[in-house]
Amino acid sequence: LQEQLYGNSDWLKLYFKEAALIACANNNDAELKRLLARKFIDITTRAPKTREHLIHVAAYYKSSGVVKALLEREADVNAELEDGKTALHIAVYNEDKKLVSILAKHGANAQYADKKGLTPKDIARLRNLKKIEMLLDTMDIHSKARVGDVEGVRDALLEGCEAGWINPKTGTTPLYNAVHKGHYDVAALILSTKVDPDLAPKDGLTPLYSAANRGALDIIELLLSHNADPGRCLGTGMSPLMVAIRKNHWKAAAILLEAGADVHQANGKGLTPLMMALEMNSREGVDLLIEYDADVNELSADGVPLLHKLCQRSGLKQDSISLYLEYGGVIDIIDEQHNLSALHTVVMHRRDRRADKTIEALVKYGIPVNVLCGAPEATLKTPLAALCECDEAEYKSNNERKIAYNALASITTMLIESKADPLVRTSNDSQYALTYASTLESKRAVTDAAKKILAQDILAKLYGVGSVGEENNVTASSSQLHNDITEHQHSSLVSDGSEGKKSQRQQRQRRGKSVFIPASYRPALPEGNPTCPPLPGVPAPTLNAESREQKRGRSVMISRMTLTGTIKRGMSIF
């Protein structure tokens, strides 16, 4: 309603629905747009009594401009009345060819039947509306292309149907439907109309991508001969070349590479075609890509080596690393941007429940396990120290991370069995793997793994009582030693400032047991300084007579924490 005709009366605000219906009836699309823009009504507004949608009223009064305005705002083109009729039923009944064309182009379904069982086509046939009946037949070009009806598609094109019309419901073109179903003749017919071969909806699903996904060599060559772009990607960054590689269509990949597909192009996750081929352990694919200048030692777009990118993937196989090395890859290459080895990268991404498989593969092919790495201006650590620094809380967000947490014990075991030294200090010389593992009680997966493997070895290094596996040199076997580990933490080693936790710790101390090392196995200590031998790289403390007197008689309480490396120096052996 125009304000200059009806004034600015407040009572008009009570009748916005009626105003919208009047606008639809009078083909006043400008007024309807104003009402919608000012949010006086919405697109789902219905007549109070008849329950008609706005699009039904507009179709009844042949208001094609209003119908267009409604469809542009995503009105439901197939909305039904109580008797089952749609706007297309009404347009056919009114013999409105223009409106039928508008509705069909916006995805109106000519197969919808009302409650009497009549479709728009039935109405056109009963009323002998030959032109509209033909229009309904020809406008269904998508379904004809999908089933490979060459003559039907030709008739639709001759009737003026747009070959590049994107179906608003499915987001596809007739060319895409033909290619997706492998109908070469229909695709060739549509391409002969000079339609854009790369026309695609917002997600970038081009006909060439579909053909590469199917491995349809003849259709790929047909599309490329009509200047289809081999580098056109989906919204995820996947190109036709990448999907051909994923599906092992190597002949299709070769055609795309010959047509100019970029062998270095990466998807949204930073994966290049060569990374995909290596991950799939495909020698044929790697050979093909290297022939077109791919390089196993190249850096990704963000400056990360190929091996590190692969190690971020889930469960990298040994065969993939073997193939990488066979083509000149370097196992100890460093990610200079982040100052990380490939092993550090796996540890940093340890939320993967199959990270142990990747670590096993890297260790098998000789990656250094004791190298110090870390982010610029941060403390440099060994992979084992970085692993032991984990926090249980980060694994509680979902089930997959909980599974990954349970794998930490096997990863710790694997690294130690691969000669990872738990006593290599960090770059600032203040911590090492065992102190990280003992800092938080919650790290049970790491400490439980460290107990059995490290107990005798660390005692041997500290006291000289033997080595791992030599049970006759210690009081008990490894299982007995494990059972003797106290379940408390010494208050002098860790103080978190919490009285409640301290009280719990003291209770565990009272229930705990000490590990007894017989005198015959104790190392000879320097006379006058009865202290434990210092940790490697740390000078032994010098005690005066008074401090020696104070320290004398205290026993060594080897708890889970002290077992993992932080034995309190200055205590005598009980």
Every domain of the chain and the residues it spans: 1-139, 333-462
Cβ neighbours of residue 125 closer than 8 Å, sequence gap 6 or more = 133
Yes or no: say if 320 and 278 are a contact pair by the CB < 8 Å rule: yes
pLDDT at 438: 52
pLDDT at 390: 62
pLDDT at 269: 79
Looking up tokens 């009748």 gives 15
Question: CA-based angle 411:417:418, to the nearest 5?
Answer: 90
Element (H, E) at 25: helix 16-25
Query: Is the torsion defined by CA of 495, 500, 505, 507 positive or negative?
Result: positive
Yes or no: say if 434 and 566 are a contact pair by the CB < 8 Å rule: yes
pTM of structure? 0.58
Pick the CATH number of 333-462 from 3.40.50.2000, 1.25.40.20, 2.40.50.140, 3.40.50.80: 1.25.40.20
What residues are paired with 559 via a beta bridge?
Answer: 486
Reported as half-sphere exposure (CB side, CA atoms, 13 A), residue 523 has a value of 17
Q: Within the chain, which residues score under 70 in pLDDT? A: 1-27, 29, 36-43, 45, 47-50, 134-135, 137-139, 168-169, 202, 314-317, 349-354, 389-409, 429-574
Euclidean distance between CA atoms 574 and 566, whole angstroms: 17
Which of 274, 270, 363 has the alpha carbon at shortest distance from 318?
363
pLDDT at 566: 40
pLDDT at 349: 66
pLDDT at 460: 45
Cβ neighbours of residue 71 closer than 8 Å, sequence gap 6 or more = 55, 77, 102, 103, 106
pLDDT at 230: 92
Which CATH number is 1-139 given? 1.25.40.20
pLDDT at 248: 92
C-alpha distances (whole Å) from 415 to each of 157, 400, 467 are 67, 22, 18
Let me know if 173 is exposed, middle or buried by CB neighbors in 10 A (0-12, 13-18, 19+).
buried
Element (H, E) at 157: helix 150-158
pLDDT at 19: 64
Tens-place pLDDT, residues 460-490: 444 333 333 333 333 333 333 333 333 333 3
Euclidean distance between CA atoms 381 and 375, whole angstroms: 10
Q: Do domains 1-139 and 333-462 have the same CATH topology?
A: yes
